[in-house]
Amino acid sequence: MKTRLHTRQTTFRQLEIFKTVAERLSVTEAAHALHLAQPTVSTQLAKLSEALGVQPFEQIGKRLYLTDVGEELLASTRELFDVLDRLEMRLAQRAGLSIGRLRLGVVTTAKYLVPALLGPFCKAHPQVEVELQVGNRADIRQRLQANLDDLYVFSHPPRELDIEAQWLTDNPLVVIAPQDHPLARRRRLRWTDLAGERLLMREPGSGTRHAIERHLAQQGWTLGRTLTIASNEAIKEAVLSGLGLAILSRHALTHMAPGNLVELPVQGFPIPNSWYLVTPRGKQSSPIALAFREHLLSALAPKPAGRSSLSAEERRTRPSRRV
């Protein structure tokens, strides 16, 4: 009875703070995500530990780890907030789409796609709270596996997980160079013409890198000198500075001043690539998530017929449209 009393002395806010810290294993990152001061987060965690009589975290060196009881508390907290989300869903159904929350997890390249489409949706539903998480493929895959968001956008959906994936639009990968690069004056290039150039690459685990390595292997081409940079924006800046060439989404060029970067006419490019809308199979989507799904599909129409299910062979062989 005593344990039950102490459990009920906790607050939803304390549990929300705990959940945010536990998922990031960082008080600083959690404070930033919650728009709170770091001491406030630490104080609420201490009050939660005192109320429950347990220590959900342990710190070894500078790293934070969940204890066994912390793992149990995180699982229970997620269940509790899932119940609250379902309640919110039912209330939203009664109130239409005037209130609610939409959680989106998108891979880094999709930041050129999703925010532009999210803007009109938010204007139409100003009281809908949106959480947009952007990360590399490994980060978003982890969020998908933990069922942390309503919808996910991948360029390479994790087929090893039990998911539903719907094709959204093409995301062709092209070779880019500074406008004053000698190769930029050529009308036709072969991969061998790039042999002396350094290629700037995303980190292992990135969907873009996965697509590049697969394409080169299929063509029987090899990589020369490479430099790994874990950000598309940093890669573009490095290309501008003359550090090397890169293979990026063609959509990335639309976010540069005209002419700063150019697409090289390399035979065998662009690499066919696409974006997909992904959810765990059987997930019960909220009315807001369903509305945003329809908004995306409508905004990106027309699309090829029969693309509502995921076929690995079809995705590998599907030709790219120029954008």
What is the H or E stretch that residue 313 is in?
A: helix 312-317
3-state secondary structure of 5: helix
Among 199, 271, 211, smallest CA distance to 238 is for: 199
Q: Six-digit token pair at 312?
A: 């690995």
pLDDT at residue 316, as a whole number:
38
* Count of beta carbons in the 10 Å neighbourhood of residue 140: 26
**Backbone φ/ψ region at 300: left (φ over 0), alpha (ψ -120 to 50), beta:** alpha
Give average pLDDT by consecutive 10-residue segment, the chain, 323 residues.
52 90 92 90 91 90 91 90 78 63 90 89 87 90 91 92 92 93 92 92 86 92 88 90 92 70 93 93 86 90 49 38 29
pLDDT at residue 320, as a whole number:
32
pLDDT at residue 94, as a whole number:
60
Structural domains of the chain in order of their starting residue, each with its CATH number: 2-77 (1.10.10.10), 96-170+274-317 (3.40.190.10), 173-263 (3.40.190.10)
The Cα angle at residue 159 between residues 158 and 165, in degrees rounded to 5? 85
pLDDT at residue 232, as a whole number:
86
- Contact by Cβ (8 Å): 170, 140: no
pLDDT at residue 270, as a whole number:
94
pLDDT at residue 17, as a whole number:
93
pLDDT at residue 136, as a whole number:
86
pLDDT at residue 98, as a whole number:
57
